[in-house]
Amino acid sequence: MTTLADLGKITAARRKYVPILATAVLLIGMYVFGATQYEAFGDGQVVLNILIDNAFLLVVAVGMTFVILTGGIDLSVGAVVALSTLVSATLMEKQGWPGPAVIALVLVMGALLGMGMGAVIHFFELQPFIVTLAGMFLARGLSYTISTDSISITNGFFTTMAQTPVMLPGELRVSISVVIALVIVAIAAYVLHYTRTGRTVYAIGGSEQSAMLMGLPVARTKIAVYTISGLCSALGGVLLAFYTLSGNALHAVGMELDAIAAVVIGGTILTGGAGYLFGTVLGVLVLGIIQTLITFDGTLSSWWTKIVIGALLFVFIVLQRLVARRAQ
């Protein structure tokens, strides 16, 4: 027999899905609006182009999801993306390094930077905002030290990865970067929802003190979370290098804010402890479809993308707060 307590638990569980459902409804509504306003918008390739144009952001947002689920923040991701593109371009075009070796080095570099920030945050008990802000200045400064000019990438491996399409039924296609991004999403979803590390991430976000009292590996997990974010940022830089075939210190300026917006619009609570990676995917698609709608309109400034994202971010933060109050 179902008791009042059981009903309360069921209702609370359902409330957790409210933000992600709101994101899904918003995404569907925007797509239907675009398809009715613009004939070409309903083409399946338009949706796939959103993924192609935002594959690097999706990977960065995956890493940001891990961080925000613990109640942290990572402001260094955009700068690490830029540094990754510039290191890749410099080593291949000026030093003659092979593409795979460059990718391996860049990924290790990003992971080590994330690991360092995570260790400082945990062991010195500093605010993630301050530590990752310092990491942002460090990575962006290193980028400008390497070169202030854009460096074109002509390496055969990178150009092949950038220009080889993955064909789908119906003469549709995506880039190799999209395939890589979706693989990263699948791996990250498995880690978050089916491993002890994932459960610890959620526990830390719910209450770090309680997680420690339960004997969970808080230190190791917090450092791992920022390592994952650094690794995803470096991989995002590699995918951006595929997309633009260039390295530039000015790449990805403000991407950290886009990644945070995608995660929050996707339903992950800023204070940590609740959220789903699928919501982050929806959040990235929402950002991409806003940009696509403005492009199809042709009369609006590209800055309207930021205005709409800002408004949506405000709405979803308020929605999260209302859901949290109801749960209490």
- pLDDT per residue over 134-158, tens digit each? 999 999 999 999 999 999 999 999 9
Whole-model pTM? 0.93
Instruction: Provide the sign of the torsion angle of the four alpha carbons 237, 238, 244, 249, taken in this order.
Output: positive
Which region among 136-145, 232-241, 272-281 has the lowest average model confidence (pLDDT)?
272-281
145 in a structural domain: yes
Tell me the pLDDT band of 328, cut-offs 50, 70 and 90: low
Q: Which of 69, 25, 44 is nearest to 312 (CA)?
A: 25
CB count in 10 Å sphere of residue 294: 18
189 in a structural domain: yes
Q: Are 212 and 204 in contact (CB under 8 A)?
A: no
8 in a structural domain: no
Pairing of strands 246-247, 151-152: antiparallel
The residues near 265 (Cβ < 8 Å, ≥ 6 apart) are: 23, 282, 283, 286, 287, 309, 312, 313, 316
Residue-range definition of the domain harbouring residue 120: 18-327
Residue 276 and residue 279: Cα distance in Å, rounded? 5
Find the helix packing angle between 277-297 and 18-37, rounded to 10°.
Answer: 20
5 in a structural domain: no
**Section 120-143 average pLDDT:** 96
pLDDT of 194 above 50: yes
Q: Are 70 and 205 in contact (CB under 8 A)?
A: yes
Pairing of strands 172-175, 246-247: unpaired
3-state secondary structure of 265: helix
pLDDT of 2 above 80: no
| 90, two tokens | 């410099």
Share of the chain above pLDDT 90, in %: 75
1 in a structural domain: no
Domain at 102, CATH number: 1.10.3470
Q: Are 83 and 255 in contact (CB under 8 A)?
A: no
The residues near 177 (Cβ < 8 Å, ≥ 6 apart) are: 52, 55, 56, 161, 239, 242, 243
Question: Amino acid identity, residue 181?
Answer: A
Upper half-sphere CA count for residue 328 (Cβ side, 13 Å): 6
Instruction: Identify the residue whose tokens are 């995917």.
Output: 281
Upper half-sphere CA count for residue 326 (Cβ side, 13 Å): 15
Length of the chain counted residue by residue: 328
6 in a structural domain: no
Longest Cα separation, the chain: 72
Tens-digit pLDDT profile for residues 210-228: 999 999 999 999 999 999 9
| Count of domains observed in the chain | 1
Tell me the pLDDT band of 8, cut-offs 50, 70 and 90: very low
pLDDT of residue 320: 74
Q: Are 88 and 241 in contact (CB under 8 A)?
A: yes
**Section 176-180 average pLDDT:** 97
pLDDT of residue 271: 86
